[in-house]
Amino acid sequence: MDADRSLLVACLDLTSLGEDEDDAAIEALCDRAVRPVVSEPAIHVAAVCVWPRWVPTARGALEGSPVRIACATGGFPVPDASLGDRVAEIEAAVRAGADEVDVPIARHLVDEPGALARDLAATREAAGEATWKAIVETGAVQPRTIRTLAVAAIAEGADFVKSSTGKGVEGVTPQTAAILAEAVREAGRPVGLKLSGGVRGVGQATNHLAQVRAILGEGWPAPSRFRIGASALLDALLA
- Beta-strand ranges (E) seen in the chain are 12-16, 47-50, 68-72, 100-104, 131-135, 160-162, 192-196, 226-230
> Within a 10 A sphere around the Cβ of 226, how many other Cβ atoms?
25
Residue 19, exposed/middle/buried by CB under 10 A (0-12, 13-18, 19+)?
A: exposed
CB 88 within 8 A of CB 123: no
Of the residues 99, 119, 133, 194, which is catalytic? 194
Q: What's the N-to-C CA distance of the chain in angstroms? A: 10
102 is catalytic: yes
Distance CA 91, CA 74 (A): 9
Query: Which amino acid type is present at position 239?
Result: A
Rounded (5°) CA angle 86-92-93: 90
Q: Give the single-character DSSP code of 138.
A: G
Q: How far apart are CA 176 and CA 148, in angstroms?
A: 13
Examine the residue annotation and report whether 20 is marked as an active-site residue of this protein.
no
- Quote the CA–CA distance of 169 and 167 in Å, as a whole number: 6
> Is 194 annotated in the active site?
yes
Catalytic residue among 13, 102, 119, 159: 102
- Which among 13, 99, 133, 162 is annotated as catalytic? 162
Tell me which residues are annotated as active site. 102, 162, 194
